[in-house]
Amino acid sequence: MAKTTKKRRGPQTTAKVELDLPVRVGQTVEVEITGLNHEGAGVGRVEGYTLFVDGALAGERVRARVDHVKKNFGFAKLSEVVEASEHRFMPPCPLYDRCGGCSLQHLAYEEQLRHKQQIVRDNLRRIGGFSVEGEGAITVHLTLGMSDPWRYRNKAQVPIGEENGALVGGFYAEKSHSIIDMNECLIQHQVNDEAVAVVKKAATKLNIAAYDEVRGTGLLRHVVVKVGVKTGEVMVVLVTTEEPIPQREKLVEAIRSEVTGVSSVVQNINPDKTNVIFGKKTVTLWGSDVIYDYIGPIKFAISARSFYQVNPAQTEVLYNKTLEYAGATGTETVIDAYCGIGTISLFLAQKSKHVYGVEIVPEAIADAKRNAELNGLGNATFEAGPAEVVIPAWKEKGVRADVIVVDPPRKGCDEALLTTILEMQPERVVYVSCNPSTLARDLKVLAERYEVKEVQPVDMFPHTGHVECVVWMSRAKE
């Protein structure tokens, strides 16, 4: 073996490099807020240095304590609002300042919708290089919001802990895994709160221990509740470290008798030391294996682990806009990439000649096929695999898509899929996005052959910084 020589390194040092900044950690500064970032934090500047201040709003002058600094920007905690925005709203949630789940609850709802529209416009301009103002600009509509933006979430996933001999369930304190007990969440369906409270009370009474992730002891890890908003059916899922549950029958009976509309009690076993909620094994303790719900006229079966949109009211708004942008008249062939359990595919199948759905997760494809059968829709074909592999295979078999719909995860479309779309050259592309930055990046690629006609933001998660979009693209004329 040839002998190698190590390069000698210079002297090592662990001393921190002091940054020459106009602010320092611990300092209280007065700053004018000029805007909001994509997470809803106020953006201000001190001598040109950018500070992000949680809880501050555009147009406000605030005092804030510098918490953390980097070379080009820093973070500060709001101490006092010196001059308040006319759009400041008193958060109704008593845990708002501790939870962090609803980062925009202090902003009037109509302004939240305008802010999310602006976030989309800014990303299209900055990342995509698109014009969003003036002649020839892309039309970015005002965000479609809710008439009542509260109690919209149909699913709760609550970690369980123990405090003073009783079970607690709520959310993790900032930068810790210490659980802060919560009895009510104003964006959750009321039955979610009710079911979690019943399980905490009954499990405490029956001496069922909460899981301690530090020691690796205890039984009950999470309570997951799913509500069929249109049907009223409720599923309660108990996530445990092992299968035997002490006095299981009494726990199930408490849930059956005290939770409104419960039709399914399920146990999921997750023995691993992980922050992933679900384990591989699921058993039904009582009632049905699934509950049902509707998005528009389409019925969906929802199991303990299947994905289903958490805001069905706004999902219907999103899907109706997708159907409109697809321009389906009953004669089109549509490909739905990232089809999941077939939610968009089956919506499109109502007004299309045939829909082909592809998804990389085999379990989701099984659910999609079951949902197609449930609705008597025979004009939908589903296949598991990478979209960039399956779609060209369909093309080889003679499938010619008039419309391609994509609904990717936050990371956006796979580069190979974008290439496939450009090669397939459908008349229309409809892009459903949950991340404006990756949307802008992908539209820039597709703009090689497609014209972005309209962008419609939809508020799927009121009081949070998240915004979804539906984009209509039409093949550019040669």
Q: Is 309 annotated as a binding residue?
A: yes
Range with the lowest mean pLDDT among 24-38, 90-104, 164-178, 239-253?
A: 164-178
Task: Decide: 419 and 389 in contact? Cβ < 8 Å.
Answer: no
Q: Above 70 in pLDDT, residue 9? A: no
Domain shared by 254 and 327, yes or no: no
- Tell me, yes or no, whether 181 lies in a domain: yes
Q: Domain check: are 324 and 246 in the same one?
A: no
pLDDT mean over 431-442:
98
pTM of the model: 0.90
- Residue 248 confidence (pLDDT): 97
Neighbours of 54 (CB within 10 A): 18
Q: Which tokens go with 169?
A: 């369930």
User: Does an H or E element contain 82, and which?
Assistant: strand 73-83
CB 455 within 8 A of CB 139: yes
Q: What is the pLDDT of residue 7?
A: 40
> pLDDT digit string (tens) for 280-334?
999 999 999 999 999 999 999 999 998 899 999 999 999 999 999 999 999 999 9
Enter the tokens of residue 158. 């609550």
- Average the pLDDT over 366-393 and give the result: 96
Rounded to whole angstroms, the Cα distance separating 138 from 452 reads 7
Residue 179 is assigned to a structural domain of this protein: yes
Among residues 93, 185, 339, 434, the one annotated as catalytic is: 434
Average pLDDT estimate for 186-209 = 97
Q: What is the bridge-based pairing of β-strands 139-140 and 450-458?
A: parallel
What does the alpha-carbon distance between residue 31 and residue 422 come to, in Å, rounded to a whole number?
47
Question: What is the tally of structural domains in the chain?
Answer: 3
Q: Which is more confident, 63 or 9?
A: 63
Angle at 428 between CA 433 and CA 297, to 5 degrees: 65
Please state the rounded mean pLDDT for residues 338-356. Answer: 96
Under the banding of pLDDT at 50, 70 and 90, the label for residue 15 is very low
Q: Are 238 and 268 in contact (CB under 8 A)?
A: yes
Question: Can you tell me which residue has the tokens 């990046």?
Answer: 441
Average pLDDT over residues 399-407: 97
CA 68 to chain centre: 27
456 annotated to a ligand binding site:
no
Q: Is 434 a catalytic residue?
A: yes
For 241-314, list the strands marked E by DSSP.
262-269, 281-287, 291-295, 298-302
Pair (166, 49) in one structural domain: no
Last residue of a domain, one of 61, 88, 115: 88
pLDDT digit string, tens, across residues 446-457: 999 999 999 999
Task: Please check whether residues 279 and 317 belong to one and the same domain.
Answer: no
The reported pLDDT for the residue numbered 20 is 84
* 286 and 159 within one domain: yes
If asked whether residues 291 and 315 sit together in one domain, one would say no
Residues 370 and 234 in one domain: no
Residues 264 and 368 reside in one and the same domain: no
Please indicate, yes or no, if residue 107 is contained in any of the structural domains. Answer: no
Q: What is the pLDDT of residues 299-312, one digit of tens each?
A: 999 999 988 999 99
Residue 335 lies in a domain: yes
Q: Is 447 within the bounds of a domain?
A: yes
CATH of the domain at 317: 3.40.50.150
Sign of the CA dihedral running 166, 169, 171, 176: positive
Residue 22, in any domain of the structure: no
pLDDT at 394: 96
Interaxial angle between packed helices 248-258 and 190-205, expressed in degrees from 0 to 180 and rounded to the nearest 10: 150
Looking at the fold, whether 274 and 315 belong to one and the same domain comes out as: no
Give the CATH number of the domain where residue 164 resides. 2.40.50.1070
pLDDT-derived band of residue 14, with 50, 70 and 90 as boundaries?
Answer: very low
The DSSP element (H or E) to which 19 belongs, if any, is none
Q: Are residues 376 and 456 in the same domain?
A: yes
Give the residue among 287, 209, 204 at the shortest CA–CA distance from 250. Answer: 204
Q: Which of 88, 110, 136 is the last residue of a domain?
A: 88
CATH number at residue 80: 2.40.50.140
> Rounded to whole angstroms, how far apart are CA atoms 144 and 314?
9
Cβ–Cβ < 8 Å for 440, 467:
no
Residue 321 lies in a domain: yes
Range of the domain at 58: 28-88
Both 219 and 258 in one domain: the answer is yes
Measured between alpha carbons, how far is 37 from 43 in angstroms, rounded to an integer? 7
Looking at the structure, tell me whether residues 320 and 272 fall in a common domain. Answer: no
Q: Is residue 3 part of a domain?
A: no
Residue 18 binned pLDDT confidence (cut-offs 50, 70, 90) = low
- CB contact burial 237-275 (16+ within 10 A = b; e otherwise): bbbbbeeebeebeebbebbbeebeebbbbbbbbbeeeee
Q: Is 338 annotated as a binding residue?
A: yes
